[in-house]
Amino acid sequence: MPPEAELERAFEDLQRIFKDRVTQSAMHRMAYSRDWSPRYRTAQDLPDLVVVPRSTEDVVQLVNIALRHSIPVVPFAGGTGMGGGVAAWRGGIMVETKGLDQILELDKESLTVTVGTGISVWALNEYLARHNLWFPHQPESKRACTIGACIGCDNDSTFGIRYGKILENLTNLVVVTGRGEAVRLGRRKASFSSTGYKLMDLMVGSEGTLGVVTEATLRVCPVPQTRQVRGYLLRSLNEGAQAVERVLSAGLCIDSAHMNDRERLHFYTHAYRETYHREPEVPDWAEVILFISWAGDEDVVDFAMDKTTRVLRDEYGAELVGEQEMVDGWWDSKHRLDFIPFKQKWPDSQREKKFGAADVGLPIGRLEEAYHRFRQIAAKWHQDVLGMTVYNESANRSTASVSFAVFVDDSSEENVRDFYEYVREMSQMAVELEGTMSSYIGDGDRLGGFNVLEHGLGLEYMKRVKALFDPQGIMNPGKKFETRWLR
């Protein structure tokens, strides 16, 4: 933790520049004391100061003050991360990035928009809609999740199977490094480049450990004329992944594909139960519900939907979900975020226990094996299974970004500790199955150091990269390279 005298001097320096946009108030600091990751319910990590910059120049001044006084800098976006990536467990200056919410330029001819990274995905799309455009990187937390958080966490998107993840939709950015310098990285508005090193790519998934990303140029798309969503029942996870690949190889363009096991479906059909007062009908033989959406011109969507249904039925014995209301309810929950007031899945499901997940990435041929081990590992660490969802996040490929979700009893410190042991063992399993420990949450304060099992000697090279961008180690310390959670 920073010495009290240095904090006071830093506060005075910041006040001269930011005036009422810097605070030491415990009440304000409390709002930045945790994210959505499972924590013991009274646990908190209070930053020492909170600052609200409104420009790249503001962040440059802030970081240089932090360097002068050797105080950590922690960027804070929507606070919806699930890996402790914003936990200021070493104190320091919390940078409230939502002040960087400007639309800097819309280039309709080139289909790009340049924004401050504090703007939420939802607010950006509300602006773009007035121009018949949209930004297709759509995490489920998009009402709160900012563009900076999408870059810093490399989170998943509803439409990843068509548009990829954030990197495929990002062409340029400005980052204020741990040297207190603003650096422009990327390829301006071009879609690709073969010159130089791909330094912009390093920022994706860096969780604020290399610098604060303040500006981003993004690719946008025309709003599709129509969208349709259907659900299909299948017998196994591996079969579901193969079916998605087969649909793509048939030449069909789909814009989302998600697989749920039976239990996870229960989580996403909350609105259906509230409306119809019963569970959706799922046959006993169906182990997987595959949801697919198509978007574009109406006649093209109709053709693609019909052809997809025939491929899945004839080649995989899939059965179309008969209750379209259930499918629409799932889509409302997953993408539209159109909830019944005061009866949302999050508050209703979180009153007694909290949502937690191991977010591993796997080869598509290992899903069934991973699912069975998930059940065993969750039982070993006393975790209440919520279920499994498979997201597809590579454009036009069947991939497996998997949420192995559980409910965590946050009234018990032991159960929270057991949850992180569960995440550790699930992460180890993923590496054994030739996958990755994290596909959308990030290392945060849960996988740091332990991730040497995945990266080997590469982790030492990552530390050298960190030292280049952040020689004093002030940028979000305690993330990527160490964890508080392993016993």
Angle at 160 between CA 445 and CA 257, to 5 degrees: 110
Q: Which two tokens stand for residue 439?
A: 């596909």
CATH 3.30.70.3450 placement within the chain: 226-345
CATH 3.30.43.10 placement within the chain: 4-98
- CATH number for 347-442 (one of 3.40.462.10, 3.30.300.330, 3.40.50.970, 3.30.200.210): it is 3.30.300.330
99-222 CATH fold: 3.30.465
Q: Is the dihedral of CA 431, 433, 435, 440 positive or negative?
A: negative
Rg of the chain over Cα atoms, rounded to whole angstroms, equals 22
Do the strands 93-96 and 73-76 form a parallel or antiparallel pair, or are they unpaired?
parallel
Alpha-helical runs (H) found in 284-380 = 298-316, 324-331, 345-350, 367-380
- Asked if residue 429 lies in contact with residue 410, where contact means CB atoms within 8 angstroms, the answer is no
Alpha-helical runs (H) found in 141-286 = 147-153, 160-163, 199-203, 237-249, 262-268, 270-276
The residue type of 293 is S
For the chain, 487 residues long, give each residue's pLDDT as a single digit of tens.
788 999 999 999 999 999 999 999 999 999 999 999 999 999 999 999 999 999 999 999 999 999 999 999 999 999 999 999 999 999 999 999 999 999 999 999 999 999 999 999 999 999 999 999 999 999 999 999 999 999 999 999 999 999 999 999 999 999 999 999 999 999 999 999 999 999 999 999 999 999 999 999 999 999 999 999 999 999 999 999 999 999 999 999 999 999 999 888 777 676 677 777 887 888 889 999 999 999 999 999 999 999 999 999 999 999 999 889 889 888 887 787 665 554 555 555 566 789 999 999 999 999 999 999 999 999 999 999 999 999 999 999 999 999 999 999 999 999 999 999 999 999 999 999 999 999 999 999 999 999 999 999 999 999 999 999 999 999 999 999 988 876 5
DSSP string computed for 415-482? HHHHHHHHHHHHHHHHHHTT-BS-SSS--TTTSTTTTHHHHTTHHHHHHHHHHHH-TT--BSTTSSS-
CATH 3.30.465.10 placement within the chain: 99-222
What's the CA gap between 329 and 338, in Å, rounded?
Answer: 9
The CATH architecture that domain 4-98 belongs to is 2-Layer Sandwich (3.30)
226-345 CATH fold: Alpha-Beta Plaits (3.30.70)
**Residue whose structure tokens are 């804070």:** 76
Q: What digits encode the pLDDT tens for the residues 303-313?
A: 999 999 999 99
